[in-house]
Amino acid sequence: MGRGPARIWTPGDVVLGLYEVLDVVRDGGMGLVHRVRHRDWQVDLAVKTPRPERVRTPHDRRLFETEAGTWVGLGLHPHTVNCVYVRTIDSLPRVFAEWIDGGSLAAAVRGGRLYEGGHRVALGRILDVAVQMAWGLAHAHDSGLVHQDVKPANVMLQRDGTAKVTDFGLAGTSAANRQEGGDGPGDDPPGVTFAGMTPAYCSPEQAVAAAGRRAVRLTTATDVWSWAVSVLEMFAGRRLTDHGQAAGDALERFLRAGGADDARVPAMPASVGGLLRQCFQQDPAARPSGFHEISSALVELYRAELGTAYGRPEPRRVDLLSAGLSNQALSLLDLGRADEAEELWQRAVAADPHHLPTLYNSGLHRWRSGRLTGEELFSDLAAARAAGPPDGLGALLLGCVALERHEDGQAAELLREAVAAEPDSMDAAVALAELARRPPPVRAELDGLIGRVTAVAASADGGLVLSGDSSGRLVLWAHGERSRRRARRTLTRSGQRVLHLAMDAAGTRGAVLREDGSVETWDLARRRRLDRPARQDSSPACTLAVSGDGRYVAVGRQDGTVRIWQPGRPEQVVAMVRAHSGAVTSLALSRDGSRGVSASFGRGDHDGTVRAWAPFAGRLLGTLTGPVRGTLRGREVRTSALDRVGISPDARCAVVAWWTGPLTVWDARRCEMVSEVPHRLRHVEAVAVASSGPTLLTAGDGGTSIQAWDPTTGRCLRTVDRDTPSGLYSVDGVALAAKGRVAVLGGDGLVVLRSLPGTGYRAPWCYARPGSARELTRTDEAFRALIARVDELADTERYASAAETLRAAQQVPGFARHPEVRQAWARVGAHGRRATLLGAWVLWGYDGDQVLTQPVTAALGRAGTLLATGRWTGEVDVWDAAAGERLHTFDRGERGSARDIRFALDGLLLLVLTNAGTIRQLSLEDGGKRLFTDDSGRISAFALNPAGNRVLIGDETGTLRVRDLPAGSVLSTVRAHAGKVHAVALSPDGRFAATHGSTRSQPSFPQAGEHEVHLWPLDAERPAWTLPSRGGEEFPDFSPDGRTLFLSTGLSTTAWDVASGAFRYSVDCGGSFSSGQTARAFSADGTLAASPGRDGVQVWETATGRVLHSLPCGMPYGFALGADGTFAVTGGWDGLLRVWDLRSGSCLRTLEGHEGPVASVELSPDGTLLATADLGSALRVWELAWDYAVGPGDGD
């Protein structure tokens, strides 16, 4: 969006390189209307711009924006002018509407064009326009709008005779007026408030309101009156009165005079006069009920007067598809109505989950507001691009996002591809020009260090870097030097571990804090150590800082004090401040040392505050404390060991990520808060803040991303670790230089420098080319006809023909992934075999880091419609799996959080095994709850039969119980093991139980030789057979026919004959296995199984144990097989999901959406819903869209 002084556009101007100004169409007192040509679309648009002097005040601007928003919300109709979008240019909001090439109805009346062709033709034309106006106004009224300014000048005519109502500038909505009115429903009478009028066309009630009675409510009847005035003008050939409220009298005079003065104008039929008399009733309630009634009467009147049927079919409202909805959303976002824009984007995604402009625009908005990372946006766009035909738009949008993320190499490749496809693209040209202006990115590495780098510091420009490691080595690195010897100077080769480093802005003075508490100062220009300061007391040093000019060194200590001295004079402390009541953990000095900022955060003795102070005056300047996060012994809790703070080296600002609180930017000079926003920072250990600007850099232990943030918005600017060596798997030392444009990172034996994004280039919004109402009507009708045909064919069991027709419906523009297409495939595809993955997308996500259990405990219902999740506090939530709506929350119960959740009794019950050793039975019908405990010991395992009406429960004493559901009564009890039951399985027919348990009464983790597997007939007191356990965890499963028992350890699976206990085969996966990892998965029919392998997932036949495929997905964590055995989904330690074709073993799609290892993967029975969770407790639900190979049905 352009920002700058507004300039009046003149013909010949080219605005933003995109809009060619062709003409000034209207120059009124309130504003101007320009005709412009959109150069990318090669489409003419009308642009309505308010005069700058008319929107100088916030009130004036708000009025125009309200007008624009009203028009945007009207949507598409063949007889209203479409508002394509609203866009702010040169600080003025401008309405871009479709261009109508035939001029206004007022001009047609005034110029006589309306009456060409003789009286009969002219009469037909007048009635035609009157009907179309009525249809357009009916659409506005159905949308909740009252136009309030209906007149011939606000009706546009196309050259083919189509009439369109325009200029909804005074329109009011009943919803908006209710919001502005009383306290609740019914406070105001129906209608809208007066917003203005044109006197010659106003209704009596408008005239009353204009005279000062502003409480008058205007209904749709006011537009009926003004429509009738306009129709009267068409039959008169001129305006008959300057006062619209007198139109009834003007009609009677006109009729008495015998018609129009102009001989070209046809006479008004008596039936038309009668209709107009009804419209001119003084009482609004006595007028026709609305324009549906009026248009129906006119259509019959047309037939009666002209002797032929009216030729236009009555149009219906056109539902916007993704392109139109996305444009509407951008308009509302430009008008400051972000919540409404997001709702429209959600509707657009529902209509087409892979619509590129929608995903791009909504993704940019969410990225810039801190709710999405740039990597996630790029991944979503790449997936959408892969699902559609190749074109230049996908490359352009991806290139613009890459450019804003400062992924310059990636951006250059994509933008060149975009230009090759669309040589005249202005957005691509602007992006390439930005790329050409950028300096080369910083990309440097200092490797070959012996120990783990524990601290780094950098000069202000990033040219010098000081690093310290666990072996005590100090290295000064001038990364711009070409000579390795000159670039790298080792200051100390060994010594105590380096804990903290600090450097002045020029890189001439440095300070070092070592593990033994000793502090060193260095003359870095001469590479020599200065005198160490004398120990002043026994309180150990915790952190240090150097002033920007290098004149002062400050040390923060365990006792909360900060001491300052001058290098070279270590014996003399020039200032001492008691900064905190706890240990000082972070510290910075201003350039001249006159201001200090410190923080006391972490575990143990810390006060959880940030403070600014004047050291030489010994005066506290200000304090930042955390938000209240509960109470403890009646006192407010404002601190947490998981709070994280960063202070800029120049002591200008501090950034705090409060655990379970906001991300706060604090101006330490003014001691006031700059911003507070939600944040997504998790498991962060190392934090750095840039000087002269609050760019934030975060890192942590292995698995935590290295990320740059704009802390004022919570936006992740870039994830750096995807572009770094493996030695940075875990980072202890971080620093920022060059005003936040360069990251300095210390890892295992190396220091890395990388460029970071800065402010400047912002990817432009993408306005989709609009379709006309007529085009959308035609495509919608074509699509509806095809879907109706699909239903007809499916009803007669002609499934192959239905599938072909459905593929034709997918080819209708805008409907490729429409919800009705997906619903139809679910019906038709059930009679075929899964063939091709058409697309995959996230339906919704939930960040449960501070809410859900870790790892996430979740279950997808058998029908795939419900999802259950457990909270670490014990509550259980039930979600609409497709919509992401939380339907119900069961309270935490007696005690314990969920270890395992399963649906039972056809999805009517939930069984929840808690870590307190109980099972909660939760009813989804009536919300009822039942608690199963064990008299002997804590419950440790349970299993359900396929029907879900029996549950087998094992406890820590080795006892087995079978209960019926939902009553919960005990059907049988067996003492199965001497010690704890670790895992159980119930045969499909309910006759057998398989158990893995301990041979010792004392609880222990499963070890080889101490555990065994039993196969129990549930009506017997002794097991049918017993096997020694192979040690570790062992999971039993029955085949669907109940004849085979599978025992899985995660390392291998063995198959055993249930009747005899005879060994059948073994599948050795050759991988590694850890607790929490998926050990096995089966298809619904039991013909295929999967186990974790060394570098992927092994898929094998359960009948023979023959391995069919090894899916190369790296070390697997969670995985699942499709119910029909045609596909699998694997989740890896790399956070990626992969969808596999089990017929070929090929990877169909790679899905990005998790930042950590994917621990849980669940599929709905029909294979269209996928629920996943990672170790960071992020939950995602995906939709998988499939094509099917459908053979002939009985009706084909």
Q: Per-residue pLDDT tens for 28-78?
A: 556 789 999 998 888 999 999 888 877 778 888 887 888 788 888 888 899
Determine the pLDDT at residue 880: 96
Q: Is the residue at 906 inside a domain?
A: no
DSSP tag of 748? B
Residue-level pLDDT at 194: 44
**590 and 733: one domain?**
yes
pLDDT band at 773 (very low <50, low <70, confident <90, very high): confident
Q: Among the listed ranges 158-172, 279-293, 1130-1144, which one has the minimum average pLDDT value?
A: 158-172
The encoded tokens of residue 225 equal: 């009156």
The CATH number of the domain where 295 resides is what? 1.10.510.10
- SS3 category, 473: coil
Q: Assess whether 751 and 787 both reside in one domain.
A: no
Together in a domain, 88 and 130: no
pLDDT for residue 759 is more than 80: no
Claim to verify: residue 433 and residue 539 sit in the same structural domain: no
Same domain, 430 and 450: no
Strand 1081-1082 versus strand 1088-1092 pairing type = antiparallel
What per-residue confidence (pLDDT) applies to 312? 93
What digits encode the pLDDT tens for the residues 101-148? 899 999 999 999 999 999 999 999 999 999 999 999 999 999 888 998
Tokens of 1091: 């186990």
Q: Same domain, yes or no, for 714 and 589?
A: yes
Instruction: Residue 562: count other Cβ atoms within 10 Å of its Cβ.
Output: 25
Provide the mean pLDDT of the chain: 89
Q: Which of 306, 331, 351 is the last residue of a domain?
A: 306
Output the pTM of the full model: 0.84
Give, as one character, the DSSP assignment of residue 1115: S
Please, which pLDDT band fits residue 637 given cuts at 50, 70 and 90? confident
* The pLDDT of residue 30: 62
In a domain, 734, yes or no: yes
pLDDT at 367: 93
Question: Do 54 and 128 belong to one domain?
Answer: no
pLDDT reported for residue 211: 82
pLDDT tens digit sequence for 1150-1186: 998 888 889 999 999 999 999 999 988 899 999 999 9
- The answer to whether residues 88 and 162 belong to one domain is no
Give the closest residue to 767 by CA, choosing from 328, 424, 1186.
Answer: 328
Tell me, what's the pLDDT at 174?
41
> If residue 1103 lies in a helix (H) or strand (E), which one and from where to where?
none
Same domain, residue pair 657 and 724: yes
Give residue 1166's pLDDT.
92
Mean predicted confidence (pLDDT) in 1018-1037: 87
> Given this model, what pLDDT does residue 189 score?
38
Chain centroid, CA 677 distance in Å: 17
Is residue 353 one of the residues assigned to a domain? no
Structure confidence at residue 639 (pLDDT)? 86
Domain assignment present for 989 = no
| Backbone angles phi and psi of 626, in degrees to 5 | -80, 165
Q: Band of the pLDDT at 1073, cuts 50, 70, 90?
A: low
CA distance 738 to 743: 9
91 C-beta neighbours (distance < 10 Å), count: 14
Per-position DSSP letters for 159-208, written without gaps between them: TTS-EEE---TT-EEHHHHHHHSSSSTTSS-SSB------GGG--HHHHH
Tell me the CA distances in angstroms from 1196 to 795, 801, 827, one per residue in order. 12, 7, 16
DSSP-assigned beta bridge partners for residue 878: 868, 888
**Side-chain half-sphere of 646: how many Cα atoms within 13 Å?**
29
Q: Which of 368-372, 742-746, 1059-1063 shows the lowest per-residue confidence on average (mean pLDDT)? A: 368-372
| 475-484, 636-645, 905-914, range with the lowest pLDDT | 475-484
CATH number of residue 489's parent domain:
2.130.10.10
Range of the domain at 1156: 1069-1176
Residue 380, phi then psi, degrees to nearest 5: -60, -45
Band the pLDDT of 702: cuts 50, 70, 90.
low
Residue 774: per-residue pLDDT: 86
Specify the residue for token string 């002062």: 552
- Is the pLDDT score of 1020 beyond 90? no
The Cα-based distances of 537 to 415, 517, 518, 838 in angstroms read 62, 11, 12, 71
Cα torsion angle, 868, 871, 875, 877, sign:
negative
pLDDT at 483 over 80: no
3-state secondary structure (DSSP) of residue 934? coil
Q: Which residue reads 């404390």 in tokens?
A: 625
pLDDT confidence bin for 536, thresholds 50/70/90: low
Dihedral class, residue 201 (left if φ above 0, else alpha if ψ from -120 to 50, else beta): alpha
423: CB partners within 8 A, 6+ apart:
none
pLDDT at 58: 82
With a cut of 90, say whether residue 999 has pLDDT above it: no
Half-sphere exposure of 67 (CA within 13 A, CB side): 26
Residues shown for the chain: 1196
Does residue 967 form part of some domain?
no
**What is the tens place of the pLDDT at every residue in 929-944?**
988 887 667 999 999 9
Terminus-to-terminus CA distance in the chain, angstroms? Answer: 57
Q: How many CB atoms lie within 10 A of CB 547?
A: 28
Q: Is residue 36 part of a domain?
A: yes
Is 1031 a member of any domain? no
409 pLDDT exceeds 60? yes
Same domain, 68 and 203: no
Q: Say yes or no to pLDDT of 1074 above 50.
A: yes
Count of CB atoms situated within 10 Å of the CB of 92 = 19
- Give dist(CA 960, CA 1022) in Å, integer: 12
Q: What is the mean pLDDT of residues 225-234?
A: 97
Q: How far apart are CA 617 and CA 593, in angstroms?
A: 12
Nearest alpha-carbon partner for 763 in 1095, 1025, 398: 398
Question: Which one of 755, 785, 816 terminates a domain?
Answer: 755
Q: Please tell me the least confidently modeled range out of 257-261, 962-966, 1074-1078.
A: 1074-1078
Least confident of 217-221, 623-627, 630-634, 750-754: 630-634
Residue 1114 has a pLDDT of 83
Residue type, 251: L
Task: Tell me how far apart the alpha carbons of residues 356 and 364 are, in angstroms, rounded to a whole number.
Answer: 12
| pLDDT band with cut points at 50, 70 and 90 for residue 193 | very low
Q: Which of 61, 79, 98 is the last residue of a domain?
A: 98
Specify which of 308-322, 375-389, 864-878 reaches the highest per-range mean pLDDT: 864-878
Task: Report yes or no: 237 and 261 within 8 Å, Cβ to Cβ.
Answer: yes
Whether a cis peptide bond, with omega within 30° of 0, leads into 855 is yes
Residue 845, SS3? strand
Cα radius of gyration (the chain):
37
Q: Is the pLDDT at 1026 greater than 90, yes or no?
A: yes
Task: Give the pLDDT of residue 951.
Answer: 95
User: Does some domain include residue 911?
Assistant: no
Report in angstroms the alpha-carbon separations of 975 from 992, 1016, 1126.
14, 10, 41
Residue 581 predicted with pLDDT over 90: yes
Q: How would residue 191 be classed by pLDDT, with cut points 50, 70 and 90?
A: very low
In the block, tokens 């929350």 appear at 889
Lowest mean pLDDT among 486-500, 702-716, 1004-1018: 1004-1018
Give pLDDT, residue 905.
92
Percent with pLDDT over 70 in the chain: 93
Same domain, 749 and 828: no
CB 694 within 8 A of CB 651: no
Residue 175 has pLDDT above 60, yes or no: no
Of 1043, 1026, 1045, nearest to 1035 (Cα)?
1045
Give the pLDDT score at 1115.
Answer: 80
Same domain as 426, residue 484: no
Mean pLDDT of 1065-1082: 80
CA distances 550 to 1, 529, 589, 1156, Å, are 43, 14, 10, 42
What is the reported pLDDT for 893? Answer: 78
Smallest CA-to-CA distance from 944 within 881, 1004, 861 is with 861
> What's the domain count of the chain?
6
